[in-house]
Every structure is written in C-alpha cells, then in structure tokens.
Amino acid sequence: MKYLPNEHRYDSMVYNRCGRSGLKLPAVSLGLWHNFGGIDDFKNARQMVLCAFDLGITHIDLANNYGPPYGSAEENFGKIMHKDLTPYRDELIISTKAGYDMWPGPYGIWGSRKYLIASLDQSLKRMGLDYVDIFYSHRFDPDTPLEETMSALDSAVKQGKALYAGISSYSAKKTKEAVKILRELGTPMLIHQPSYSMLNRWVEDKLLGTLEKEGVGCITFSPLAQGMLSDRYLNEVPSDSRAGKSGTALSKKLLTEQNLSNIKNLNSIAGKRGQSLAQMALAWNLNKSQVTSVLIGASSIEQIEQNVAALTNLDFTNDELKEIDKYALEGDINLWSTSSEAG
Ligand SMILES: NC(=O)c1ccc[n+]([C@@H]2O[C@H](COP(=O)([O-])OP(=O)(O)OC[C@H]3O[C@@H](n4cnc5c(N)ncnc54)[C@H](OP(=O)(O)O)[C@@H]3O)[C@@H](O)[C@H]2O)c1
C-alpha cells in the first residue's frame, strides 16, 4: 500500500540545534543497529521506520556493519527509502559510519582513508542514496594518524558523498584534536556520538564540556542502556528481548540481583513522575543542555510511540536527580562505559 505520511508529523516533536551548526535534529532519533537486519522481520522494521517519521523523527542512524549480517540494515533501509520515503528525502537526516570490522583484510576495519572512503561508497550503494547527511568515523584508531582519518571525512564532504562529518566514542582529548584538524580543513565537525545513560556517565567527566566549548552537537547512543532502563526486565528476561536473544551486545550477566533492584527503584521514581522508566531515562538524558538528541533503538512501534511521549515531561527537581543518582550509580553495570581511545 502507498505510504502517506502523517500530516501532523511536525506538530509536537522538539528540534534542537546541533552544536553551533545550522542543522536541527529531533530530540529523539532512531538507530537501526538491532531489529532491522536480514535476520529480522522486514515488515516490522518498515513499520518502525515509518512510525518514527510520522512522529517527527527525521533522523535515522545506521552504520556499515548493522545487521546481522553486516550491511543488511542499510540494505533494508534502502528498500524502505525506495518504496516509501524517496519523496521525503529532503526531510530526512540519514547517517552512516565506518570504523569496526566490515570486510576481511586490513582495508575493512579501523580508520584509514582507504577503508573509510570505500566503505562509504558501499553504504551509498546499499541504501541507494546519492549522499548521506552525516558520515562518522565510528571509533578512534590508535594506529592511523588522526589527520588521515579526518581528511577522509573531509574528502567525503567535499566530494558531496556526505553533507556533514562526525565522530563516535572518541575521548575528550582526541575529540579536541579532531575538531581542530577538521576546522583547518574547512569541514567543521558537526556532531559526536557517544554512549550515555543514567548507568553510564563517562561523557560527564570532560567530553560534554569539550563539545560545548567547541560548538559540536551530541547525540547519545544507548540512552536506555540497551533496554535495561525500561520495564523489559523487571520480572523476567523475555525470549524476544535483546538480553533474551543470542548474538546481541546485551548480556544476561548484567542483569544481576543488585542491578535489577536498582532498576526497580528507578522504575518507582519514574512512576512517581507519571512516566515509564524508559521515558524517564530519555528525559534525564535530554536534561543535559549539551545533548542534542537521544538515539534510541526499538523492536516495536509501541516502544517508539512511548519513547517520543517522554518529551512531554523533561523537567526534574533536584531531589529527583539526587534520588536517581543514588540508585543509578550504585550498580556494576559497565556498558560502553569508556571512549574507544586506547590508553
Ligand atoms: N556509535 C556506536 O558505537 C553505537 C553503538 C551502539 C549503538 N549505536 C546507535 O544507537 C542506537 C541505539 O542503541 P540501542 O539500541 O542500544 O539503544 P537503547 O535505546 O538504549 O536500547 C534499545 C532497546 O531498548 C528496548 N526499548 C526501547 N524502548 C523501549 C520501551 N519504551 N520499553 C521497553 N523497552 C524498550 C528495546 O529492546 P528489545 O529489543 O529487547 O525490545 C530496544 O531494542 C543504535 O541503533 C545505533 O544507531 C551506536
């Protein structure tokens, strides 16, 4: 059936300026890391992307290796673009990345110019796009000169294959260096994509301050700690959940008695605010002025709808923030908790 988007899609979404750039991003963005691959239900994946667009989520985040198998999330997204969203290409911000293992041999991983440019060409083909809006270096490569990785991003922009450049999971120190190199090349860094949640605070040390000072936007990934900050695991580990499936990045081992007890206490705080735990976790993340957008994952349209509804209650009292810290900082959950810079 022909897809016709919701006419009211821009009525209630919040759009935040990305650093000191001209670009605004939706406060909630959708990532296609899990549940959009070749092994997943395509019908559900398509419904989720279209539901997101109908709710004003104009930003879809991908990477070369999202799937499984690698590349299949981009292929599936390409099909959805082609079938439903081509008329709306100019209403969308589509990003992809390269940095993790993608194909065999030394040119299919890390941060060389050879890998980044070849990978972006492949991503464009898989998605059937002329350009992406944001191209990221997915992680810092300790063995490639930073100048080489940044100049590959700059080339992608100057060749018109990407409109903006970004980096992901770089430390504050390497971010500062990367910002300077890109500025000198004439391609200002648009955005940094770090992990950040109530349970994972590494960005608070120096990174957020650096981004603010340099005028770089911040889109935080895994703001729900891959689903742990939701009602998903309060009573059991459902077989269709990320922790319940094999081959995902969320290990059941993290759901210890202590962590679950903290999650239940956080859930009670959310209940007192009239929110679900997932909604409170997203609102808490957006409460940091440096955060442009929270980058969620989802396995159903109901989750996306619930998460966007978090935007109706973004304020916290100091007492609430203190109580959240009491439970969130007590556990031993250590997911993506550092930048990927070696040393
Ligand atoms: N740059 C990087 O290195 C990097 C790394 C990781 C992720 N990312 C990006 O960030 C995106 C999001 O990461 P993520 O998927 O880990 O984010 P997340 O939002 O922390 O976790 C998403 C998972 O939480 C559960 N969930 C979502 N909303 C829910 C709700 N309302 N109620 C109950 N459960 C809910 C779902 O789990 P179930 O599937 O179990 O239902 C969903 O798959 C990725 O898609 C990717 O684009 C980037």
Atom 8 in ligand 1: residue holding the nearest Cα: 221
Q: Where do the H-state alpha helices sit in 135-206?
A: 146-158, 172-185
Residue 256 pLDDT: 86
With tokens 């007590």, the residue in question is: 330
Atom 24 in ligand 1: residue holding the nearest Cα: 227
For the domain made up of 24-328, give the CATH fold: TIM Barrel (3.20.20)
Domain ranges within the chain, ordered by starting residue: 24-328
For the four alpha carbons of 204, 207, 212 and 217, in that order, the dihedral sign comes to: negative
Length reported for the chain: 343
Return the exposure string of 132-148: e unless at least 16 CB atoms fall within 10 Å of the residue's CB, then b: bbbbbbbbbbeebebee
**What mean pLDDT, rounded, does the chain reach?**
95
Strand runs (DSSP E) across 34-125, as ranges? 59-61, 93-98
Residue 333 pLDDT: 59
pTM of this structure: 0.97
Ligand 1 geometric centre to CA of 108 (Å): 25
Are the C-beta atoms of 147 and 117 separated by less than 8 Å?
no
Are the C-beta atoms of 221 and 193 separated by less than 8 Å?
yes
The rounded distance, in Å, linking the Cα atoms of 240 and 41 is 12
pLDDT tens track for 32-87: 999 999 999 999 999 999 999 999 999 999 999 999 999 999 999 999 999 999 99
Query: Which structure tokens are listed for 189?
Result: 């860094």
Residue 338 pLDDT: 46
pLDDT tens track for 115-140: 999 999 999 999 999 999 999 999 99
Q: Which of the four pLDDT bands, split at 50, 70 and 90, describes residue 342?
A: very low
Pocket test for ligand 1, best of 25, 28, 32, 34 (most atoms within 8 A of CB): 34
Which residues contact residue 232 at a Cβ distance below 8 angstroms, ignoring those fewer than 6 apart?
Answer: 238, 241, 243
pLDDT tens track for 2-42: 999 999 999 999 999 999 999 999 999 999 999 999 999 99
Query: Which structure tokens are listed for 320?
Result: 């609430």
The angle at the Cα of 235, spanning 233 to 241, to the nearest 5 degrees, equals 35
Query: What percentage of the chain has pLDDT greater than the value 70?
Result: 96
pLDDT tens track for 266-306: 999 999 999 999 999 999 999 999 999 999 999 999 999 99
Phi and psi torsions of 337, nearest 5°: -85, 0
